[in-house]
Amino acid sequence: MNSLGINKSKKETKVVVAMSGGVDSSVVAALMKQEGYDVTGITLKLYDDTKQSKEGRQCCAGQDILDAKRVSENINIDHKILFYQKKFKSEVIDSFIDSYAAGETPIPCVQCNQTVKFRDLFKYAKDLNADALITGHYVSRIQTNGHANMYKAKDQNRDQSYFLFSTTQEQLDFLRFPLGEIDKSETRAIAEKLKLNVATKPDSQDICFVPNGDYASVIKKFRPESFKPGKILDIDGNQIGDHEGIINYTIGQRKGIKIASNNALYVVNIDADKNTIIVGNKDCLEVKQIKLRDLNILGSKKEFNEEINIKVRSTGRLLKAKVNLLENSADVEILDQETGVSPGQACVFYSKDEIGDKVLGGGWIHKTFNKNLSTKLTT
């Protein structure tokens, strides 16, 4: 059994490494080559970036493809580029725009992992007769009794398990995440030691197809009708202002409401059907129950009989919760205090064991039940 848990010699083990052009995936490719595996690097071109800002820090842009190619040449591995712009547009960008137009706050990175990266790249790697698909994600994959489980990464500040909740068991069996057990600083040190050209390259920060974080400009380009003016209401239904399009607002937003008030006002609901924004005080943002759709379950359903932990935003903390699994949906009771939960985000399930925080799957937030009101942003 080799270091990837595959019953072959390293030389006979063919691995595909998803190379974004960043330091993490480049280090993974170099480590696999160094260990003696048969490595092929794959880079996805996901969007046309000719007009993107050179100062933006996105992934999968033109410069990233060149960086991935250069790393591949330096470490002497095969490198292929897959042109997935049409797939990415239909499955990720269009979904992102639809979600914002429905008053949600989407997470395109999860959609990207769920579709073009893990589904389509998974199939491509299988077609190459690869034994494993390797990525530079910070998440741990631990196999016990022949069963692969996903855990939060050792580097909690870099953990990406929230974005990978939709990974299926079949995909997890095939995937490997070598960086799950090391810190980001170690990754940088390895890159410098191996003299990789991306050793000091900044991490991507923005959504790849949203230059400089200006998502409104992307939506305006593809869906200009989303900028339809409407009413801003208080929680009693009284009009207290006007807005220039619901896509300019997200749940929990305070800045940019432009309404004079003695108390701070927050966006507490977005009614896309009526094209209205509802604002209220911070207490109205407290959420005790949420309803989920489109579940992906990785753990045993027995693990949901007890209290578990959930995460409702990528930068959020773990919250105690009770989860009632239904047919491809779930009712979640949040036992800790939490505010500003938005439909369109993910709710990821975790259980604590002797190894760490195990990912049990998750689902998409469809409806929230807030203090003083409920929101239903999709039908």
Interval 206-242: pLDDT, tens: 677 887 778 888 888 888 877 899 999 999 999 999 9
Same domain, 264 and 202: no
Evaluate whether 229 touches 243 at the Cβ level (below 8 Å). yes
Cα distance between residue 63 and residue 76, in whole Å: 20
Same domain, 132 and 207: yes
Question: Catalytic amino acids?
Answer: 112, 208
Same domain, 144 and 256: no
Mean pLDDT of 103-109: 91
* pLDDT for 61 beyond 70: no
Inside any domain, residue 7: no
The model carries a pTM of 0.91
Q: What percent of the chain has pLDDT over 90?
A: 76
Inside any domain, residue 9: no
Same domain, 372 and 313: yes
Question: What residue numbers bound the domain in which 233 lies?
Answer: 227-282
Report pLDDT for 120: 93
Report pLDDT for 220: 84
Same domain, 59 and 103: yes
Inside any domain, residue 45: yes
CATH of the domain at 231: 2.30.30.280
Same domain, 331 and 317: yes
Q: Which residue reads 């953990």 in tokens?
A: 159
pLDDT tens, residue by residue, 285-318: 999 999 999 999 997 889 999 999 999 999 999 9
Identify any residues that bridge with 267 across adjacent strands, giving them in sequence order: 279
Cα diameter, the chain = 70
- The residue ranking higher by pLDDT, 101 or 299, is 101
Domain count, the chain: 3
Same domain, 43 and 118: yes
Evaluate whether 40 touches 146 at the Cβ level (below 8 Å). no
Inside any domain, residue 272: yes
Report pLDDT for 59: 56
pLDDT tens, residue by residue, 250-280: 999 999 898 988 889 999 999 999 999 999 9
Same domain, 255 and 335: no
Torsion of CA 233, 235, 238, 239, to 10 degrees: -10
Residues in the chain: 379
Mean pLDDT of 360-379: 73
Same domain, 197 and 297: no
Mean pLDDT of 130-135: 98
Q: CB burial class (10 A; 0-12, 13-18, 19+) of residue 353?
A: exposed
Report pLDDT for 50: 54
Inside any domain, residue 172: yes
Same domain, 348 and 248: no
Report pLDDT for 55: 46
Mean pLDDT of 144-153: 92
Report pLDDT for 203: 87
Cα distance between residue 212 and residue 74, in whole Å: 31
Report pLDDT for 379: 34
Inside any domain, residue 4: no
Same domain, 183 and 231: no
Report pLDDT for 218: 84
Inside any domain, residue 219: no
Same domain, 166 and 270: no
CATH of the domain at 186: 3.40.50.620
Which residue among 155, 189, 213 closes a domain? Answer: 213
Q: How far is CA 165 from the centre of its chain?
A: 8
Which residue among 168, 190, 213 closes a domain? Answer: 213
Mean pLDDT of 150-174: 96
Nearest to 39 by CA among 148, 128, 171: 128
* pLDDT for 148 beyond 90: yes
Mean of the per-residue pLDDT values for the chain? 91
CATH of the domain at 309: 2.40.30.10
Which residue among 181, 213, 245 closes a domain? Answer: 213
Report pLDDT for 56: 45
Inside any domain, residue 3: no
